Amino acid sequence: MTTVAGLSLGEKAALTTGRGWWHTAALPEVGIPAVRMADGPHGLRLQTEEEADHLGINESAAATCFPPAVTLASTWDTELAGRVGRALAHESHAHGVDVLLGPGVNIKRSPLCGRNFEYFSEDPLLSGVLGAAWVNGLQAEGVGASLKHFAANNQETDRMTVSADVDARTLREIYLAPFRRVVTEAGPWTVMCSYNRVNGVHASQNRWLLTDVLRGEWGYDGLVVSDWGAVVDRARALAAGLDLEMPTSGAAGPTHVRTAIETGELDERLLDTSAARVAELARKAAAQRRPDAAFDPSEHHELAREVAVRGAVLLKNEGRLLPLDPSAAQRIAVIGEFARTPRYQGAGSSKVTPTRLDDALTAITAAAPAATVTFAPGFPVDDPQANADGLRAEAVQAGADADVAVLFLGLPASFESEGFDREHLELPEEQLRLLAEVAAANPRTVVVLANGGVVRLSGWMGRVPAVLEGWLAGQAGGSATADLLFGAANPSGRLAETIPLRLADTPAHLDWPGENGHAAYGEGLFVGYRYYDTRGIEVSFPFGHGLSYTDFGYTNLRTAAGDDGLDVTVAVTNTGRRTGREVVQVYVGAPGSRVRRPARELKGFTITDLEPGETRDVTVRIPRTDLAYFDTAAGAWAVEGLDYRVDVGASSRDLRLSGAATVPGDQAVPTPDADSSLAVWLAHPVGGPALDGLLDKVRAALGENYPGEGSSRYRSVLGMRLSQIARLPAVPLNQDDLDRLIALVRAGG
Ligand code: BGC
């Protein structure tokens, strides 16, 4: 670690606040250069200091606009996420950027969150694995990541002030889990604290979060930076472990820190540590700079196209309407403004100025040279003055006259953004009207969607045979859509979040967005499919769902439990006629667990590319640590000894094969005492058998009055404290029996 010995208090304090909007302070006299940062995450938002803003308002230099996290996540492809990370590093080097502000691995708690487009998934494993792959790719090329927003930043409503009130187990297993994985598997150069409070304490000054958990438990040794403007009390933030305040607070932050040290409120050694971390980051960044770096924008455009292809999810394809024949002399009506003016990224601090922009209309026209392509915008986008009725009538006519109608619908930019949440899941009214009329005029209507957060499909999906969810597809999304529509590419995207039937079904519905400054995470662990599947709630499309132009069969499931975890092997066959990719998903359930568990949880996945007729064995390795739950009584992770259920399938509801695996527990159950219930005693490995012996005495004494095991009376006795049972008049257990029993379990056998 770089030392800051010899620096004055003022110099050290100056290092711990930014200089300007995007830089850290430099101390050239002692060889500490400035670090340059930029948003992030799906492309470089490079602004001059004069034009700086963190709201996506001012201009930024042209950079490749890759599809945002929602789309990348739907690829389930870690190798691809790594390649995107590397490409982003090359662009960062070319522009002299040392740290790219991403990825965002916050969990999609509710589909309403305005920033869901920037986050990966409702599932912590998928979010963490993809986030780690992205960071590893970026940092392998010498550019630092900023893992954000730490933590429990799951809504935009009141994001600067709201307290996310989350119970310990849920926080660990759901909301912190992706951060933990990225920190431990990829070591991001920086971690960015969030704006909100976590259980009442601002993330920026939450010592438990920034120091005890992040550094103490996870071993993090990088730098913690504030989200832009998240610092409330600079001295408290520093004491909690927030090294760098961004952007600059001028003299305010450093003065506050100095005063706090001079008055003895803050220990100077804390400042030394944080200043040294800033100096260390600067040293690391300077050593990795590549001033001559260049990148090929066309190559990156092609990579953006690959992600858009891989991330699109074919939700529905009745009668195999798709793919369309690219060589047929057909009439294709392309309808919807988004075909000509794509909605391809989200709004806010992540907004990128693309190097190029493909539109689907041009790409479709080029992909089907024998077809007659007509276009009708169909609806206005964010333009209240436009004549929606006229646009609709023209589009419906175009649809009626065509052999196939391809209808581009989605959320206008004004519907979703960083900074606010949606209030409903509906597409705009005029689009829904258009859809109803086009679908009535042409039964061969394909809907292509562009949206960052999920939209409700249940009101209209039955009217059209095919739906392709393209998400926000980045700057090459138009070409990617044509690749998929005409079968140049075979869809392989899978949902990284459930599409619910209606808003009222969503797990956080009753607690959203909170009241009096508090958002109670009342649904607990039951986020996304963990909720829908455990409660058996019908959904439009389950987590993990996505169709292909071919089919896959699963056979021969094998599980092998070892000391390090679980290997799950299955044979997957491409049973159709096209080359395709299957995302094999492994879910684990814990029947008989002593704690509350979701019906099943994603514990691993893998991708396999198969030729028609080809069969391949794939193995998913589940490390033992991933089987652990957070035991709140012990305040530690614990693997429970159980016969786990292992389900392998193509979505959380399309489970093709099931097996079991016996995994030994790594923690003794808590030692019971006189006030523990009979049930707890019986479940204890030492106490259970010993007590069973004593119960013979009770059986003998009670004779016919002994409640038979399994009877309703017995079940109510199970809940009684042992001391209570011993005091029952006819029960022959005395204090000596109890003392002996307790001594036995304390001695461990
Ligand atoms: C956002 C961050 C972003 C930062 C800098 C904040 O408003 O929450 O994600 O990196 O601004 O633009």
pLDDT at 56: 65
Domain boundary residue, one of 663, 691, 717: 663
Ligand 1 centroid from CA 237, angstroms: 18
Q: Whose CA is nearest to atom 12 of ligand 1?
A: 54
Q: Which domain, by its residues, includes 698?
A: 678-746
Cα separation, 566 vs 621, in Å, equals 6
pLDDT at 748: 78
Look over the chain and give the mean of its residue pLDDT values, rounded to a whole number.
95
- 542 — alpha (psi -120 to 50), left (phi > 0) or beta? beta
Ligand 1 atom with the shortest distance to the CA of 102: 10
In a domain, 495, yes or no: yes
Q: Are 500 and 506 in contact (CB under 8 A)?
A: yes
- Evaluate if residue 52 carries a pLDDT over 90: no
- Evaluate if residue 79 carries a pLDDT over 80: yes
Ligand 1 centroid from CA 195, angstroms: 10
Residues 512 and 565 in one domain: no
Choosing from 349, 350, 417, 420 the residue with most ligand 1 atoms within 8 A of its CB, the one to mutate for a pocket test is: 349
For residue range 494-506, what is the model confidence (pLDDT) as tens digits?
999 999 999 999 9
For residue range 175-217, what is the model confidence (pLDDT) as tens digits?
999 999 999 999 999 999 999 999 999 999 999 999 999 999 9
Ligand 1 atom with the shortest distance to the CA of 54: 12
Of the residues 227, 358, 483, 647, only one is catalytic, namely 227
Residues 519 and 455 in one domain: yes
Cα separation, 545 vs 446, in Å, equals 18
Residues 506 and 581 in one domain: no
39 lines ligand 1 (CB under 6 A): yes
Q: Are 708 and 715 in contact (CB under 8 A)?
A: no
118 lines ligand 1 (CB under 6 A): no
Domain boundary residue, one of 663, 687, 710: 663
- Evaluate if residue 472 carries a pLDDT over 90: yes
- Evaluate if residue 685 carries a pLDDT over 90: no
The three state secondary structure string of 80-130 is HHHHHHHHHHHHHHHCCCCEECCCECCCCCCCCCCCHHHECCCCHHHHHHH
Cα separation, 202 vs 729, in Å, equals 56
Local confidence band at 393 (pLDDT 50, 70, 90 cut-offs): very high
227 lines ligand 1 (CB under 6 A): yes
pLDDT at 698: 80
pLDDT at 694: 81
Ligand 1 centroid from CA 227, angstroms: 6
- Evaluate if residue 476 carries a pLDDT over 90: yes
pLDDT at 48: 74
pLDDT at 749: 64
Cα separation, 717 vs 701, in Å, equals 16
For residue range 328-338, what is the model confidence (pLDDT) as tens digits?
999 999 999 99
pLDDT at 706: 84
Q: Whose CA is nearest to atom 8 of ligand 1?
A: 227
156 lines ligand 1 (CB under 6 A): no
Choosing from 47, 49, 101, 147 the residue with most ligand 1 atoms within 8 A of its CB, the one to mutate for a pocket test is: 101
Q: Whose CA is nearest to atom 3 of ligand 1?
A: 349
Local confidence band at 667 (pLDDT 50, 70, 90 cut-offs): low
- Evaluate if residue 3 carries a pLDDT over 90: no
SS3 content of the chain, % helix, strand, coil (to 5): 35, 20, 45
pLDDT at 368: 98
For residue range 615-629, what is the model confidence (pLDDT) as tens digits?
999 999 999 999 999
pLDDT cut 90: percent of the chain above it: 86
Residues 452 and 311 in one domain: yes
In a domain, 387, yes or no: yes
Evaluate the CA torsion angle 178, 535, 75, 375 in order and state its sign: negative
Ligand 1 centroid from CA 481, angstroms: 30
Choosing from 54, 100, 115, 148 the residue with most ligand 1 atoms within 8 A of its CB, the one to mutate for a pocket test is: 54
Residues 566 and 654 in one domain: yes
pLDDT cut 70: percent of the chain above it: 99
Ligand 1 centroid from CA 159, angstroms: 12
In a domain, 264, yes or no: no
Ligand 1 centroid from CA 22, angstroms: 11
Residues 493 and 640 in one domain: no
Ligand 1 atom with the shortest distance to the CA of 104: 9
Ligand 1 centroid from CA 271, angstroms: 24
Residues 635 and 494 in one domain: no
Q: Quick one: average pLDDT of 678-694?
A: 87
Cα separation, 394 vs 388, in Å, equals 10
86 lines ligand 1 (CB under 6 A): no
**Number of domains present in the structure of the chain:** 3
Choosing from 21, 36, 39 the residue with most ligand 1 atoms within 8 A of its CB, the one to mutate for a pocket test is: 39
For residue range 86-130, what is the model confidence (pLDDT) as tens digits?
999 999 999 999 999 999 999 999 999 999 999 999 999 999 999
Q: Quick one: average pLDDT of 75-95?
A: 98
Local confidence band at 59 (pLDDT 50, 70, 90 cut-offs): confident
40 lines ligand 1 (CB under 6 A): yes
Active site annotation includes 631: no
Q: What is the DSSP letter of 264?
A: T
148 lines ligand 1 (CB under 6 A): yes
In a domain, 72, yes or no: no
Q: Are 45 and 38 in contact (CB under 8 A)?
A: yes
Ligand 1 centroid from CA 197, angstroms: 16
Residues 379 and 463 in one domain: yes
Please name the helix (run of DSSP H) or strand (run of DSSP E) that holds residue 588, with its range, or none.
Answer: strand 580-589
Q: Quick one: average pLDDT of 698-726?
A: 85
CATH code of the domain covering residue 648? 2.60.40.10
Q: Which long-range contacts (CB under 8 A, 24 or more apart) does 728-736 make?
A: 730/701, 730/702, 730/705, 731/698, 731/701, 731/702, 732/697, 732/698, 732/701, 733/694, 733/697, 733/698
CATH code of the domain covering residue 334? 3.40.50.1700
Ligand 1 atom with the shortest distance to the CA of 159: 8
349 lines ligand 1 (CB under 6 A): yes
549 lines ligand 1 (CB under 6 A): no
Q: Are 572 and 584 in contact (CB under 8 A)?
A: yes
pLDDT at 666: 84
228 lines ligand 1 (CB under 6 A): yes
Backbone φ and ψ for 687, nearest 5 degrees, come out as -65, -35
In a domain, 289, yes or no: no
In a domain, 507, yes or no: yes
Q: Are 301 and 62 in contact (CB under 8 A)?
A: no
Residues 525 and 567 in one domain: no
Ligand 1 centroid from CA 346, angstroms: 13
45 lines ligand 1 (CB under 6 A): no
Q: Which of 459, 462, 458, 465 is nearest to 442 (CA)?
A: 465
Domain boundary residue, one of 541, 561, 577: 541
Ligand 1 centroid from CA 54, angstroms: 6
Ligand 1 atom with the shortest distance to the CA of 45: 12
Residues 648 and 707 in one domain: no
pLDDT at 451: 98
- Say which residue the tokens 């711990």 belong to: 16
Residues 350 and 435 in one domain: yes
Chain centre distance of CA 553: 28
Answer with the residue of higher pLDDT: 709 or 342.
Answer: 342
In a domain, 85, yes or no: no
Backbone φ and ψ for 50, nearest 5 degrees, come out as -65, -30
Q: Whose CA is nearest to atom 6 of ligand 1?
A: 228
In a domain, 6, yes or no: no
Ligand 1 centroid from CA 338, angstroms: 27
pLDDT at 57: 66
Local confidence band at 1 (pLDDT 50, 70, 90 cut-offs): low
Ligand 1 atom with the shortest distance to the CA of 153: 8
Residues 407 and 471 in one domain: yes
Cα angle: 165, vertex 170, 175; to 5 degrees: 85
Choosing from 150, 225, 227, 245 the residue with most ligand 1 atoms within 8 A of its CB, the one to mutate for a pocket test is: 227
pLDDT at 425: 98
Q: Whose CA is nearest to atom 9 of ligand 1?
A: 349
Ligand 1 atom with the shortest distance to the CA of 118: 9
pLDDT at 668: 62
